[in-house]
Amino acid sequence: MEYIKQAQINEPNIINNVEQTVKDIIATVRSEGDAGVKNYEKKFSHSDRDVRVSEDEIERSIKALSSDVKELIDRVVERISTFSKAQLECILPLEKEFGPGIQMGHRIVPIEKVGAYVPGGRFPLLSSGPMVVAPAKVAGAKKIVACSPANYEGGIHPAVLYGLVRSGATDIFAIGGAQAIAAMAYGTESVPEVDIIGGPGNRFVAEAKRQVFGKVGIDLIAGPSEVLVFADESAEPKNCAADLLAQAEHDPHARAIFVTTSRTKAYQTMEEIDRLLDVFSPNSPAHESWANLGEVILAETLQEGIDICNEYAIEHLHLHLKNSRDLMDRLYNYGSLFIDSDSSVVFSDKVSGTNHTLPTNKAARYTGGLWVGSYIKVITHQQITGEGVHLLASHATKQSEIEGLEGHQLSAAIRLSSIKS
């Protein structure tokens, strides 16, 4: 393995500062409620509006949208919902006898109150709201509280609002950042307390989700976007470059990584990236992202390339390879896989139907992305009768005696004595 271009990652002070800042925000919102939220909104978003988005505001915003934009968002919601429904159908309840008198199973139960964070950022990401909210609606959540920054003319972008409404959000708030996560986790006078929080965000949002985990559930820690393009000699450098920059433009801290078995393709792709960046806006985050965090790695063999992909455990893994599908079983650490060069990550970002809230920072080693299953609980039950009582009580009595647990032994032994009497 050879690094032709290597990232410069050295941010311990930034990480420590983010952690302390978020800790202070959460403490303030817990103690001051709405007042604390509003103070942070003034400080970070320069917003002094009412945090709740009223029905009148929603109606006015939606009226401002063209029918073409509404139709586009409706299509996004429909595709995400359809894929979520198909996933939910795969999760089945269980009821089975495991020996005479031992009946056990599980139920599929939706989480009741969901918090959805929808980033505002530099661009109004029209699919982010449906990606977080629609699966919760499909799962059967009764209350879906959505928060998004008030960074468009003093409110939430009308297209983002429309997507939230169409996806099933029941309460919408113009709040961003760590204060939004804290408000949903602990509740305020205006913001309902939720059971789980889902959705992507910047490093402050990700850190806030980490800190409130335990008080509420979270989907996963989803930080700035990541992409790894894995290519061989058959790849088209211009396509590879475009796919890398598409994710790099999300954030200055986004990571775009190119792994290839071809030295020629490595240098050609770097040349294409430089050429394309010349026509990008000077303000595009892609410049900083590629300069500081972009990587180009030359793998000696296809297997070494596969090993690199699994080690990076990247958010988006895009294969520009001959016979890409044949490699699926050898790739297992990724948030979402994009097979063949035409399967652009952008399709998933926008409209294909799979979710774009995915694990970053190597979290793909142990979890997948946000999906309808993130909003359900698989809860078990059992009913023990007849022969099952004798079998299990005998075992539990002996085991509890060995463990020295008197209460456990008593509870099991009582069942044995009941059988004898």
Max CA-CA distance within the chain? 88
CB within 8 Å of 308: residues ≥ 6 apart: 1, 259, 297, 299
Query: Order of strands across the sheet with 226-231?
Result: 2-5, 295-298, 255-260, 226-231, 314-320, 334-339
Burial class (CB in 10 A: 0-12, 13-18, 19+), 93: exposed
What one-character-per-residue DSSP string does 127-191 give? THHHHHHHHHHHHT-SEEEEE----BTTB--HHHHHHHHHHT-SEEE---HHHHHHHHHH--SSS
Distance between CA atoms of residues 272 and 278, nearest Å? 10
Q: Is the alpha carbon torsion for 80, 86, 89, 91 positive or negative?
A: negative
- The strand pairing partners of 144, in sequence order, are 114
> Is 403 one of the catalytic residues?
no
Closest by Cα among 223, 225, 221 to 247: 225
Query: Order of strands across the sheet with 376-384?
Result: 94-97, 102-110, 376-384
Closest by Cα among 314, 221, 300 to 266: 300
Closest by Cα among 378, 369, 392, 238 to 316: 369
> Is 315 one of the catalytic residues?
yes
Q: At 304, list the tokens.
A: 């070494």
How many angstroms separate the Cα of 313 from the Cα of each of 6, 288, 343, 348, 362?
17, 23, 19, 18, 5
How many angstroms separate the Cα of 289 from the Cα of each of 129, 308, 344, 346?
25, 21, 20, 18
What one-character-per-residue DSSP string does 19-73 give? HHHHHHHHHHHHHHTHHHHHHHIIIII---S-SB--HHHHHHHHHTS-HHHHHHH
Work out the angle at residue 241's Cα, subtended by the Cα atoms of residues 235 and 244, and round it to the nearest 5 degrees.
Answer: 110
Q: Which of 41, 226, 315, 318 is catalytic?
A: 315
Q: Which of 157, 250, 253, 316 is catalytic?
A: 316
Distance between CA atoms of residues 136 and 370, nearest Å? 10
- Catalytically annotated residues: 315-316
